[in-house]
Structure 1
Amino acid sequence: MGILNLTPDSFSDGGRFQRPEQALKQASRMLDQGADILDLGAQSTRPGAEEIGPATELERLLPVLTAIRGSHPDALLSVDTFQAEVAEAALKAGADWINDVSGGRRDPAILRVVADAGCPYVLMHSRGDSRSMDRLTDYGDVVEDVCAELWRSTRVAQLEGVATSQLIWDPGLGFAKTHDQNLQLLRGLDRLRQEGFQLLVGPSRKRFIGEVLSEARPRARLWGTAAVCAEAIRAGTDVLRVHDVGPIVQTARMMDAIVRPPRRRE
């Protein structure tokens, strides 16, 4: 899953792809590099980000979504939003997936939108919002607590009509987790995979990688991201959400060859 941020304030590439022609060029590049899905986001969810509301989010999103859909009619397009109004409009404009960092907490009406559409829904673990999440890191056992909270959100989604087959779990690296808790979650991916849901992991360029590598520049955290992606594949992760598609596609193909060899025909 290639990340396409349409925002002026995302933590590592804010402002680079706001104009439709810039975004379309980047989308085409990521697809050429081997991205299976593009994830379009018009609301930054970095710590401290300002929430812009659905009207501004749609102003940023819809021209780009329409341009990409027109140029790449067969591409799988995901929209990163926690607003029901944005999700509904995006699906009508040609989006295929909804990726909700709040797992339905912020705008519960999004669950009915997803249920009615029958589309894949990435249900991510998080707490609070962009302004408060860094203060909400009190866990007993972070792996077990994240698993329990994902189940809680899953049951709410199911009650609203979202089918189990639509759900993809995301443990939410960097969202209401400390440096050590992010590493513990990565060590616990096997545990999360046991719950039977497809798993998405989004480590790309994140702060905890920078802390391990003593690297303050987000765009210089490629190889740390690749190492995390390799471990995620070993643990059975299905989708990797990344900025640097070309190198991570190579990483994924190599790891697949090692840990997921093709079955021999009988």
Structure 2
Amino acid sequence: MGILNITPDSFSDGGQFNNESDALHQIRKMIQEGAAIIDIGAQSTRPNAQLLSAAEEILRIGNLISNIKKEFPEILISLDTFYSETVQFGFNEGIDLVNDISGGMFDDKMFEIVANTGLPYVLMHINSTYESMHEKLIHDDIILNINYYFSEKIQKLRSLGIKDIILDPGFGFGKTVEQNHQMIDELDAISFGEYPLLIGISRKSFIYKPLRKSPLDIQEETQKLHLKVLEKGAKILRVHDVLATKKTIDIFLGK
């Protein structure tokens, strides 16, 4: 899953792809490098980012989704949003997947709209409010906490008829460096193998800050961790660096 941030303020690539021609050029590059899914985000979720409304997200996305579908009909499009209104817009434009960092907690209509669209849904583990999403609030065992959260949310999703569920443990969102590494070490215990896992560790601070490096200078360390999560059952890797990750996946698959 290649990341396309159409934002001016994302932490490592803000402003690079927030016009349509640059975005389409980057998508072409990611597809050529091996991306199977493009994850479009109109809103930065880094600490202290500006909060956009659903209307602002939709305005920022514009015709991009429908134009991607015309130019690259084979690619799957994931929409990274926590607004039900943006999901409905994306569905009308042709998205294939909803990637919601909020677990339905930032918009109480999210689960209902996803159920109505019939789209697959990425359920991420996160603190319960937008304001607290980066606070380190979990003091019990992180794996137990994540599994309890997922079991509760999955029950709600399934009760609404949403069965195509992908789980994202939420690396970097309100977890300590130690908790992030525990999640990697014990990844095979998350969700008990019942649902596919999406892993997003690309350019995350729990990797680069302890090393005193920049987010753009941890390629080798990230790929080692990507290989580790693949060995522990990860099914989708959400990444900025598609080519390097595709090489790691090929190594894992023995190609």
Q: Into which bin does the TM-score normalised by the smaller protein fall? A: over 0.9
Query: Offset of 1:193 from its aligned partner?
Result: 4.9
Partner of 1:158: 158
Query: Offset of 1:195 from its aligned partner?
Result: 4.1
1:199 and 2:197 correspond:
yes
1:234 and 2:221 correspond:
no
Q: Distance in 2 between matches of 1:22 and 1:105?
A: 32
Q: Distance in 2 between matches of 1:97 and 1:211?
A: 31
Q: Distance in 2 between matches of 1:46 and 1:131?
A: 12
Q: Secondary structure at the match of 2:250?
A: helix
| Pair 201,237 (structure 1): closer, same or farther in 2 beyond 3 Å | same
Q: Is the 8 A contact 1:3 1:40 kept in 2?
A: yes
Q: Distance in 1 between matches of 2:219 and 2:10?
A: 17
1:184 and 2:182 correspond:
yes
Please list the CA deviations of residues 206-233 of structure 1 after superposition, one character each: whole Å capped at 9, or x if unmatched: 0001024221x21112222111111110
Q: Is the 8 A contact 1:81 1:101 kept in 2?
A: yes
Partner of 1:124: 124
Query: Offset of 1:241 from its aligned partner?
Result: 0.2
Please list the CA deviations of residues 140-178 of structure 1 after superposition, one character each: whole Å capped at 9, or x if unmatched: 101111111111121222223212xx1000000001101
Q: Which has the higher mean CA deviation after the structures are superposed, 24-33 or 151-160?
A: 151-160
Paired residue type of 2:117: A
Partner of 2:105: 105
Partner of 1:10: 10
Query: Offset of 1:48 from its aligned partner?
Result: 1.7
Q: Is the 8 A contact 1:213 1:224 kept in 2?
A: no
Segments of 4+ moved more than 3 angstroms: 128-131
Q: Which runs of 5+ in 1 are unaligned?
A: 259-266
Partner of 1:264: none
| Pair 129,6 (structure 1): closer, same or farther in 2 beyond 3 Å | farther
Q: Secondary structure at the match of 2:189?
A: helix
Query: Offset of 1:15 from its aligned partner?
Result: 0.5
Q: Which has the higher mean CA deviation after the structures are superposed, 202-211 or 223-232?
A: 223-232
1:34 and 2:34 correspond:
yes
1:219 and 2:216 correspond:
yes
Q: Secondary structure at the match of 2:249?
A: helix
Q: Is the 8 A contact 2:106 2:130 kept in 1?
A: no
Q: TM-score, normalised by structure 1?
A: 0.92
**Count of matched residue pairs:** 255
Matched ranges for 1:49-198 at <5 A = 49-163=49-163, 166-198=164-196
Paired residue type of 1:16: Q
Q: Which runs of 5+ in 2 are unaligned?
A: none
Paired residue type of 1:249: K
Q: Distance in 2 between matches of 1:236 and 1:138?
A: 24
Partner of 2:249: 252
Q: TM-score, normalised by structure 2?
A: 0.96
Query: Offset of 1:130 from its aligned partner?
Result: 4.9
Q: Secondary structure at the match of 2:253?
A: helix
- For the aligned residue pairs, the C-alpha RMSD in angstroms reads 1.4
Query: Offset of 1:132 from its aligned partner?
Result: 2.2
Query: Offset of 1:66 from its aligned partner?
Result: 2.2
